[in-house]
Amino acid sequence: MNSKPVHLAVYNTYADWETGHATAHLARAGHDIRTVGPATLPVRSIGGLRVQPDLALDDVRPEDSSLLILPGADLWDAGDDLAPFARKAREFLDAGVPVAAICGATAGLAREGVLDDRAHTSAISFYLAATGYGGGERYVDADAVTDGALITAGPTEPVAFAREILRLLGVYEGEVLDAWYRLFHDSDAAAYAVLEKAGAA
């Protein structure tokens, strides 16, 4: 397992529900989750949760991380406040360090040009098209998409988003990963037995 922490971006209006499955199961598997804000001042999620970031964005380096997770937020579509997070994502990807973006964060990556030459998804194709980006031909109508070190998903797919993260970081694989997804996405009770047998329940 990669001993470097997973960095979860947090900023005002971030969508709390979009990353919970991923971070909870990464933490249970032994990954250290560190929150990253615009600064170290507290932020508030859409759900009103007050979060004190562990680190400021300027202090995060790709070589010190195993993954950067970018949740959606109202602020992604309300101006350029979160553009530094998209630039940081480009820095991570250029260094070969994975990035996972969901919902509005995909629009931020589109504006940054990160999606122009990578397969990706989002809420819907015309949402990203409105950014004026050049990657429309690489859009995939799927619950979540992994292209190399980049994971993308739409706002209604936090479980599929987590599945791709867990696969990429090697937390679960094969039938265990499939069972995890069936349990949390489809409420398939039979999947629990697979997880229990694998010690992943």
- Cβ burial of 30 (10 Å; 0-12, 13-18, 19+) is exposed
Residue where the block lists tokens 């960095």: 7
DSSP assignment letter at 179: H
In this structure, how many other beta carbons lie within 10 angstroms of the beta carbon of residue 193?
12
Residue where the block lists tokens 């997973």: 6
From 68, 103, 107, 109, the catalytic residue: 103
CA distances from 86 to 11, 38, 92, 100, 184 (A): 13, 12, 10, 11, 29
Backbone angles phi, psi at 64, to 5 degrees: -105, 15
Q: In whole angstroms, what is the distance from residue 166 CA to residue 24 CA?
A: 11
* 193 is annotated as an active-site residue: no
Q: Cβ distance 24 to 69 under 8 Å?
A: no
In this structure, how many other beta carbons lie within 10 angstroms of the beta carbon of residue 117?
11
Full DSSP string of 30-76: TPPEEEEESSSS-EE-TT--EE--SEEGGG--GGG-SEEEE--BGGG
Looking at the annotation, which residues are catalytic? Answer: 103
